[in-house]
Structure 1
Amino acid sequence: MKNGQNVGQYLIERLYELGVRHVFGVPGDFVLGFFQQLVESKLHVINTCDEQGAGFAADAYARVRGLGAVCITYCVGGLKVANTTAQAFAEKSPVVVISGAPGMKERVKNPLLHHKVRDFDTQLKVYEHITVASTVLNDPETAFREIDRVLAAAQRFKRPVYIELPRDMVNLPGDTSYKAQYKEETSDPDAMEELLSEAVNMINSAKKPVILAGIELHRFGLQDTLLKLVEKTNIPVAATILSKSVISERHPLYLGVYEGAMGFEDVREYVESSDCLILLGVFMSDVDLGIFTANLDQAKSIYVTSEKAMIRHHTYEEVRLQDFIQGLLEADVKRHELGQIPHPKPPPAFSVKPGEKITVHRLFQQLNAFIDDNTAVIAEPGDALIGGADLFIHGATEFIAPAYYLSLGFAVPASIGVQMANPNVRPLVLVGDGAFQMTGMELSTIARFRLNPIVVVFNNRGYGTERPMLDGPFNDIHPWKFSKIPEMLGAGKGFDVNTEDQLEEALHSARAFVEGFSILDVHLDPHDSSPALRRLTESLAKRVK
């Protein structure tokens, strides 16, 4: 800590030390002083059109870089970010929510200040339910310690945290005698030794072990360790929808995405017939498990996450996921002999049928052929996600989607976060027309900061995912001329797509145009969908009728 450092400066310094380089947000009077500090710092401020867009961008940034930050004003901004923070909590994305607030001196006698909802701690109480740690920096003597406490929680649990910054605290000096003490948690050595012993014996006794790699391997940066383990043991690995791209899909030991009855039958049969299923960092959610059509036998499973560890029906306390995987890597796990295994096939060259009306199936085939090593696919909930799970992804951490919480409006603002976090990738955004109408005008932010995603709008005139479940006028939306948006913004290029040859030409032109965004308005039949989505909606329909 530098001598004389104030509360705002210390928060900025700690964010920078933890790898944050961009802060997303929308200013307001209760947070203007801190915004001024931000623009004078080494961090870059990315102010978006709307707070929800900032929240989704910070979430995506955290998924790629390891920690994200969003900064907004009190209540009118903070409560708009509640939904994106809830998603980050549900899917373990470590976002630091920084909210300005009325000064402590302004709160005397409980006045009716603008933006206040009920009490001055109303917003705090909301965030206590959707973050893993929260604080109000109401005392400069304890502010540095509180900042470190909540940031440590974000790092430890990979979930969002909340920091409320009263505006009269921003420039106050903190405790000059404070010295940060960072203590990394470790596993209980006795519990870990016993866990590893039982796991190694079970794996070595198995004839057909399989690793199911979950989303926590993304969050804790364990992809390289997983790869070493897979290659040492020759054990094949599958991903879930939420963790898709946790390992390169080109890897010879990669089976594909396991998603119960929603997925490919050969992958399902191979995983479910395993006599030793090693689940690492997996969320046992309804979507990841194919709306609970998965048939996984606990008596044949090793299940380890950042929060619990189980072998068959035995539980172990105080063991860390990263320590367990590293322990397996160092243990005497024998190398297994493999027969033939399922493996995703690289997409063949796409043969265009000129003048043929584009369908969802052919759209995904053409997109599959279009994706290259520099593409990061960002998929919106709906057919963009469910059908997109079958796309062939070339690299690691290059398929990003809210596949558990499933909040619409994620994909377009998420492309901002992804490209800021990794400028070397070009986002391919797959988004429905309904979801685009929620947050798609963050294209204005994209234009301002000269980003260049390729946005493919699945224009099926409404909420296509819901129509097979229960249709009605509530699934219809007003049609937009999406390809005309660049004219309004004075930036980007738009393409109106009805046929396969028009799609081929638009994708080719979009790839060549690197100076800004491209948006493709792909017109689809309202009742057309991918086979995977049909399987999903048939199951969900039974629950809503």
Structure 2
Amino acid sequence: MSSTHPTATRHRRNGGDLVIESLAALGARTVFGLPGQHALGVFDALRRSALRYVGLRVENNAGFAADAYARATHGVAPLLVSTGPGALMTLAALQEAAAGSAAVLAIGSQVPLAGIGGGRHGYLHELADQSASFRGVVKSVHTARTASQIPSAVAAAWESALSAPHGPVWLEIPQDVLLAEVDVPPVAQLDATPRELLPRPELIAAAASRLTRARRPVILAGGGVVRAGAEAELLALAQQLRAPVATTFGGKGAFPWEHPLSLRSWMEDRHTTTFLEDADTLLVVGSGLGELSSNYHTFRPRGQVVQIEADLGKLESNHAALGIHADARAALAALVEAVGEEGEDGEDGENGEIQEDHGPRDTGPAGEAGAEPATPEAAVAALLARVHDRIAGQELDLEQRILASVRDALPDGAVSCWDMTILAYWAWSAFDPRRSNALHSAQGAGGLGYGYPAALGVAVADPARPVLAVSGDGGAMYSIAELATARQYDLPVTWLIVDDGGYGILREYMTDAFGEATATELTRPDFVALAGSFGVPAVRTSPERLRTDLAAALAAPGPSVVVLPARLRMFAPTHLDA
């Protein structure tokens, strides 16, 4: 007699299995998501695989977690969601992934084939053209309309996400295709190796010539350096040229904060903007010189600009330049070699002629008028002193003490994820991450609610290290349900919630612009008690106790919450000393 339960049936592989097998064949180890009716075929296949599933409570938060996982691993993060409302809930997260070049592979279900494109209507979750909602947000849109198309469609989407510049992609598969039985061997191998984006040699030669002939070369390093893993090449080039280096907010950590040539990240500072403007050759690598990186489009370079950018749409999009369409690491490595050869040959010109000796390299605007030219290192120190004096004159001791307490409490190897809140705006300019790829924020698209789910994604990528999330009380409410996720997976994330009773940065903006604020004040919960209801330890702290309380929370296993009641102010970003 058979021992099989009379209602049990032998599983027949289906389209959902092909999705999961394809992801595994491409190297995926973890997937994020939230199930829904039309997507059940792929979620059922998960239990027959070795992939780790991390389920969040809101699709947008699942997207943020996948975004940060992709940034932390420099790889692809699969995101599984359902049709219609579930799919649309990912759009804000995918917009951030696009702005931040995070390789999120979003796979959504669709209504059955009969309901697509003007067929039989009336399905639950049905949209007239679901994929159209994603075309203006993601890098590419893919569809699999038969089970046999699934492996190739997954591979094509994966390759698109991981090709330079990285970015999110959308793949949708109808419900009946996911459920259709298949009679093919399991997917064992797929190739989705992205094509290398190498620089053209003649452009590298021209850039090397301009940089070696420059009296005041300066480098601006953006997020493309971090994504490409080009930190060593950047350091080598800067030291070859003795060129000061500023990093954009997305490029934080790309260059050592305490290096004598480090201008740090004061991108919302007029002194820093002027220093960059006065470079006779400015090398911009991995940045499109967008709003934040150009001090709100006030940046006006007076010298030559050389721009290395993997995103063709950002190349020379804001300023004329010698544009090099290439991956940052490949281009910087080529420049290091070419600059070394230029130095050996005695400053060859762009056409091979020998250039006259320009004498000692000067530093432009860092010193006082009429002063002897300083060394690049002295110019950097002088600029940072002026920035320090400007901030010191604005009575912002509380904000600086709190940021310093966070830095002191956070272990050197830990990663921090920041929401759109005043303390994060301070961190963009003034926080030393102490290593590359260790500070993530939503400064690309700027949506609220990024910090906490992003920290969960980072913790999934590396559960051995504590992760810090920083939110305001307004942004925290976008993500509060994910305390359950942190507890369910026992993720080592400490959440610092700065409670100022509302949308603090909007309060400042409106008060400055209109004299008073509207719609910024919020009723909020007792965050300590609320965290406790999820089984997450929480403490209410003060500016004086913050360093101690935060360090203790970060050292404890599992999730925790630290609530800081404080009303912070921003520094004046473009203030000039009299």
Q: TM-score, normalised on structure 2?
A: 0.80
Q: Which residue of 1 aligns with 2:566?
A: 524
1:512 aligns with 2:555: yes
What CA distance in whole angstroms lies between the structure 1 residues aligned with 2:235 and 2:495? 31
Change (3 A) 1:433 1:92: same
Cα deviation per residue 1:302-345 (whole Å; 9 max; x = unaligned)? 01201345699465576554432221122134678844253689
1:271 aligns with 2:276: yes
What CA distance in whole angstroms lies between the structure 1 residues aligned with 2:244 and 2:25? 37
Q: Which residue of 1 aligns with 2:523?
A: 478
Alignment map for 1:24-103 (pairs within 5 Å): 24-66=32-74, 67-103=76-112
Q: Could you tell which deviates more after superposition, 150-159 or 215-224?
A: 215-224
Change (3 A) 1:427 1:183: closer
Distance apart, 1:484 and its partner CA:
1.4
Change (3 A) 1:186 1:174: farther
Change (3 A) 1:186 1:380: closer
Change (3 A) 1:295 1:371: farther
Distance apart, 1:44 and its partner CA:
0.7
- Contact map agreement 2:81 2:108 (CA 8 A) in 1: yes
- Contact map agreement 1:260 1:292 (CA 8 A) in 2: no
Task: Provide the secondary structure at the position in 2 that maps to 1:57.
Answer: helix
Structure 2: segments with no counterpart, 5+ residues: 1-11, 344-360, 362-374, 386-396, 511-515
Q: Could you tell which deviates more after superposition, 28-37 or 148-157?
A: 148-157
Distance apart, 1:269 and its partner CA:
4.6
Q: Which residue of 2 aligns with 1:449?
A: 489
Letter in 2 for 1:76: P
Distance apart, 1:408 and its partner CA:
0.4
Query: Which residue of 115, 120, 123 corresponds with 2:125?
Result: 115
Q: Which residue of 1 aligns with 2:238?
A: 230
What CA distance in whole angstroms lies between the structure 2 residues aligned with 1:365 and 1:186? 41
Q: Which residue of 1 aligns with 2:162?
A: 155
- Contact map agreement 2:211 2:241 (CA 8 A) in 1: no
Cα deviation per residue 1:247-268 (whole Å; 9 max; x = unaligned)? 3424444320141426xx3x44
- Contact map agreement 1:374 1:424 (CA 8 A) in 2: no
Letter in 1 for 2:309: T
Letter in 2 for 1:519: V
Distance apart, 1:176 and its partner CA:
7.4
Alignment map for 1:135-150 (pairs within 5 Å): 135-150=142-157
Counting matched residue pairs gives: 508
Alignment map for 1:167-206 (pairs within 5 Å): 167-170=175-178, 172-173=181-182, 184-186=194-196, 192-206=200-214
What CA distance in whole angstroms lies between the structure 1 residues aligned with 2:274 and 2:37? 58
What CA distance in whole angstroms lies between the structure 1 residues aligned with 2:301 and 2:43? 50
Q: Which residue of 1 aligns with 2:392?
A: none
Distance apart, 1:123 and its partner CA:
1.6
- Contact map agreement 2:306 2:322 (CA 8 A) in 1: no
What CA distance in whole angstroms lies between the structure 1 residues aligned with 2:399 and 2:481? 24
What CA distance in whole angstroms lies between the structure 1 residues aligned with 2:193 and 2:478? 42
Letter in 1 for 2:308: V
Query: Which residue of 402, 412, 421 corresponds with 1:373?
Result: 412
Alignment map for 1:144-543 (pairs within 5 Å): 144-156=151-163, 157-170=165-178, 172-173=181-182, 184-186=194-196, 192-261=200-269, 265=271, 267-297=272-302, 299-308=303-312, 313=320, 319-333=326-340, 338-342=376-380, 359-389=398-428, 390-470=430-510, 471-490=516-535, 492-497=536-541, 499-513=542-556, 515-525=557-567, 528-531=568-571, 534-535=572-573
Letter in 1 for 2:508: P
Letter in 1 for 2:231: Q
Q: TM-score, normalised on structure 1?
A: 0.85
- Contact map agreement 1:158 1:220 (CA 8 A) in 2: no
Cα deviation per residue 1:328-382 (whole Å; 9 max; x = unaligned)? 122134678844253689xxxxxxxxxxxx9433211222322331221211113
What CA distance in whole angstroms lies between the structure 2 residues aligned with 1:177 and 1:442? 35
Change (3 A) 1:248 1:426: farther
Task: Provide the secondary structure at the position in 2 that maps to 1:500.
Answer: coil
Cα deviation per residue 1:448-467 (whole Å; 9 max; x = unaligned)? 11112221111110011111
Q: Could you tell which deviates more after superposition, 316-325 or 43-52?
A: 316-325
Distance apart, 1:202 and its partner CA:
0.2
Query: Which residue of 138, 156, 159 corresponds with 1:131?
Result: 138
CA RMSD of aligned residues (A): 3.1
Query: Which residue of 7, 15, 30 corresponds with 1:22?
Result: 30
Q: Which residue of 2 aligns with 1:352?
A: none
Change (3 A) 1:341 1:424: farther
- Contact map agreement 1:371 1:393 (CA 8 A) in 2: no
Letter in 1 for 2:139: V
Structure with the greater alpha carbon radius of gyration: 2
Change (3 A) 1:141 1:24: closer
Cα deviation per residue 1:95-143 (whole Å; 9 max; x = unaligned)? 11111222325669513111113x2xx2211012211111221023433
Change (3 A) 1:35 1:224: farther
Distance apart, 1:242 and its partner CA:
2.0
What CA distance in whole angstroms lies between the structure 2 residues aligned with 1:422 and 1:85? 22
Change (3 A) 1:33 1:234: same
Letter in 2 for 1:342: V
Change (3 A) 1:5 1:271: farther
Cα deviation per residue 1:415-448 (whole Å; 9 max; x = unaligned)? 1111112234322211110000111221110111
Distance apart, 1:152 and its partner CA:
1.4
What CA distance in whole angstroms lies between the structure 2 residues aligned with 1:81 and 1:443? 19
Task: Provide the secondary structure at the position in 2 that maps to 1:465.
Answer: helix
What CA distance in whole angstroms lies between the structure 1 residues aligned with 2:294 and 2:193? 36
- Contact map agreement 1:143 1:174 (CA 8 A) in 2: no
Distance apart, 1:486 and its partner CA:
2.9
Distance apart, 1:473 and its partner CA:
4.0
What CA distance in whole angstroms lies between the structure 1 residues aligned with 2:193 and 2:69? 26
Share of identical aligned residues, percent? Answer: 21
Change (3 A) 1:330 1:177: farther
Change (3 A) 1:372 1:296: farther
Change (3 A) 1:99 1:195: same
Cα deviation per residue 1:252-295 (whole Å; 9 max; x = unaligned)? 44320141426xx3x44543332211100103221222222334
Change (3 A) 1:30 1:521: same
Change (3 A) 1:175 1:417: same
Q: Which residue of 2 aligns with 1:355?
A: none
Cα deviation per residue 1:68-117 (whole Å; 9 max; x = unaligned)? 12111101210111111122112221111111222325669513111113
